[in-house]
A and B are shown apart, each in its own frame.
Chain A
Amino acid sequence: MEQVPKIPKEKFKLLNKQDNEASESLGTPSLTYLQDVRRRLFSNKVATACLIILGLIVLISIFAPAVAPHNPNAQKVEYSNLPPKLGNLNIPGFNGMQDMGGKEVDAYKQVGAPKGTYYILGTDYLGRDLLSRIIYGTRLSLIVAVLATLVDLLIGIPYGIVSGWKGGRVDTFLQRIVEIVSSIPNLIVVILMMIILKPGLTSIIIAIALTGWVTMARLIRAQTFQLKEQEYVLAARTLGESSTKIASKHLIPNLSSTIIIQTMFTIPNAIFFEAFLSFIGIGIPAPNASLGTLLSDGQKAFRFLPYQMWAPAIILSLIMIATNLLGDGLRDAFDPQSSD
């Protein structure tokens, strides 16, 4: 065999320490985790736009009494089914003109409304201002959505984490409860609720609180099972970290994408659930409006007075799309590894 030639020692030289350090330095500005999250969220234009849209919708519904131009429940039967009119601006679709027997007629003149009477989004079959009803309706739907989310976050997450973290008998017991709860249809819970309570916001909220957290709890439990075997969780345990601290420092941050995505499903689900209940007549009682009742009313006259359904449908879609896109943005923002 051939011998490898020896390399003389003088040919080796020690790299200086600065070079070494320079090669190991990674240059990015230093921020805290939450600052990072904010920076990443605002660098996402779509998510920022959705945040602004949702913020506006929320603000308007919070200040509904100040913003709404009319009383949403005040009837004026002589002004029923007026089309949208926006001042004297002659914008097609917002000029108070209506197609009647093939002829464009000024509906406002026909009912003898005095000059200066405008309904921006028109009126419904009882002459109630549609814009005001949409503002109040959105407010109600958002209340339902926020409460459903709170139930998800405050019951679903802790329940799932405890079940997954403890495992064994505790987990078996908690999962049996989940199975029982999830095997009862929501609708039956609401109908049973109406025996004790009057139909309305309270019974809808209680129905959601009783059953809404189940999906979240299941997802979180499955993820917790995975995470608790991760070595960084084991490392925290060998350091003596308490279970509650492990949950808040290690589990929840790493569960955040699951939590956000599930919440993004919960919000539209809750709004739809309320809309569905109102639609079949056991939800929000008349004369109060929600997006669901508005859609249900609008749908009855859609062929002749389409504007009565368009407006609430657009608002509902806007809320759904904005929450979904914002959710995507939030998920990326919470992940340090996502490209900025």
Chain B
Amino acid sequence: MAEDRNPIVQVKHLKQYFNIGKANEVKAVDDVSFNIYEGETFGLVGESGSGKSTTGRSIIRLYKPTSGQILFRGEDISKLKNRSPKMKKFRSEMQMIFQDPYASLNPRMKVKDIIAEGLDIHGLAKNDDERTQRVEELLDMVHLNPEHMTRYPYEFSGGQRQRIGIARALAVDPQFIIADEPISALDVSIQAQVVNLLQDIQRDRGLTYMFIAHDLSMVKYISDRIAVMYAGKIVELADADEIYNNPLHPYTQSLLSAIPVPDPEIEKTRERIDFDHSRHFNDQQRFQEVQPGHFLYCDDQTAAKFK
């Protein structure tokens, strides 16, 4: 069902290694392939250190991929030169929302200049009045008061800061936004506020999101499709409901079994499934489609069982 849609991002055999050839070589992302379709929200979950943030940062070219291809609207952006005109255009089409609202805003800049940074780089405002007007619009879009633009970031709460970060990303009018754990540093009441805002903006502007998180219930709420990452690999990828109702990979099953339920009766009897790395993870496995739209990292025998 997803296949007849138009892929906006295609990741093919992406590898991102650090400290190559040294003793401390890290295979942060190891041969990952997936598509993200226009207009959808693609959730990426996994434990700390599983490589989900690195995947996001490679796609937006904060890192230069070790190997593999990243196609954005059919064009390979994994080998773009840093100062080329194509790179500049790409920089306005893909944007990122960051995890820590306390570290993602320069403490020495005013909110107006933070949001207008993209406008300045891409020359999107012809004069000072237009710049101010655009910043006002953007602040309004994230439900902040336009008077806020002359303040410094420290004067805002976590949720407000995150909304400033969203406004900065939206300033250059991107089509694809990578949200790198945008709500994990916020308290629960504010999480909903930010997620709903993201969804409203997605509806209004027809955006595509890649939503990186480790909070499974929130990912299920926001995502159309979910990929589960473990040890630098995507172990399972399917529609959100499918992942929740029919998890095939032992790691996904283990993750889902760990979600607490706000009901003491269920909690008393809830069984957690342990995931044994050495038993469920080996070199014979590869990433393959086992059911329509349901991908699994497994060996061929297991795959045949599900087909």
CB-contact partner of B88 in A234, A240, A254, under 8 A: A240
Report the Cα distance A249→B148, complex, angstroms.
21
CB distance from B110 to the nearest CB of A (A): 7
Contact of A26 with B106 in the complex, beta carbons under 8 Å? no
- List, in ascending order, chain A residues with CB within 8 A of B95's CB: 238-239
Report the Cα distance A1→B267, complex, angstroms.
14
B223 at interface by CB-CB < 8 Å? no
- List, in ascending order, chain A residues with CB within 8 A of B224's CB: none
Among residues 262 to 284 in chain B, which have CB atoms less than 8 Å away from a CB atom of chain A? 265
Interface string of B159-178 (1 = CB under 8 A from A): 01000010011001000000
CB-contact partner of B107 in A1, A26, A239, A336, under 8 A: A336
A110 at interface by CB-CB < 8 Å? no
B302 at interface by CB-CB < 8 Å? no
**If the complex has contacts A235-B168, A241-B121, are A254 and B108 also in contact, measured as CB distance less than 8 A?**
yes
**If the complex has contacts A21-B145, A25-B147, A28-B151, are A232 and B91 also in contact, measured as CB distance less than 8 A?**
no
Instruction: Name B residues whose Cβ lies closer than 8 Å to a Cβ of A.
Output: 57, 60, 62, 83, 87-88, 91-92, 94-96, 98-100, 103-110, 114, 117-118, 121-122, 144-145, 147-148, 150-152, 154-156, 160, 165, 168-169, 172, 265
Contact of B92 with A33 in the complex, beta carbons under 8 Å? no
Could you list 18 examples of A-B contacts with CB < 8 Å? A25-B145, A26-B147, A26-B148, A231-B99, A231-B103, A231-B104, A234-B96, A234-B98, A234-B104, A236-B117, A238-B62, A239-B121, A239-B168, A240-B87, A240-B92, A241-B117, A249-B109, A249-B117
Contact of A232 with B147 in the complex, beta carbons under 8 Å? no
The residue in chain B whose Cβ has the minimal distance to the Cβ of A23 is B145
Contact of A231 with B98 in the complex, beta carbons under 8 Å? yes
Contact of A231 with B100 in the complex, beta carbons under 8 Å? yes
- List, in ascending order, chain A residues with CB within 8 A of B107's CB: 254, 336-337
Chain A interface bracket (under 10, 10 to 19, 20 to 34, 35 or more): 20 to 34
Q: Lowest 6 CB-CB distances: which A-B pairs, in order?
A: A240-B91, A30-B150, A231-B104, A253-B108, A231-B98, A336-B152
CB-contact partner of A239 in B100, B104, B108, B172, under 8 A: B172
Contact of A253 with B109 in the complex, beta carbons under 8 Å? yes
CB-contact partner of A337 in B94, B144, B154, under 8 A: B154
Among residues 225 to 269 in chain A, which have CB atoms less than 8 Å away from a CB atom of chain B? 230-232, 234-242, 245, 249-250, 253-254, 256
CB distance from B122 to the nearest CB of A (A): 7
**If the complex has contacts A232-B103, A240-B122, are A33 and B110 also in contact, measured as CB distance less than 8 A?**
yes
Report the Cα distance A253→B106, complex, angstroms.
9
A66 at interface by CB-CB < 8 Å? no
- List, in ascending order, chain A residues with CB within 8 A of B108's CB: 33, 253-254, 256, 334-336
- List, in ascending order, chain B residues with CB within 8 A of A254's CB: 106-108
- List, in ascending order, chain A residues with CB within 8 A of B103's CB: 230-232
* Interface-central residue, B88, B94, B104, B156, by most chain A CB under 10 Å: B104
CB distance from A129 to the nearest CB of B (A): 48
Contact of B168 with A24 in the complex, beta carbons under 8 Å? no
Among residues 8 to 36 in chain A, which have CB atoms less than 8 Å away from a CB atom of chain B? 21, 24-26, 28, 30-33
Contact of A238 with B60 in the complex, beta carbons under 8 Å? yes
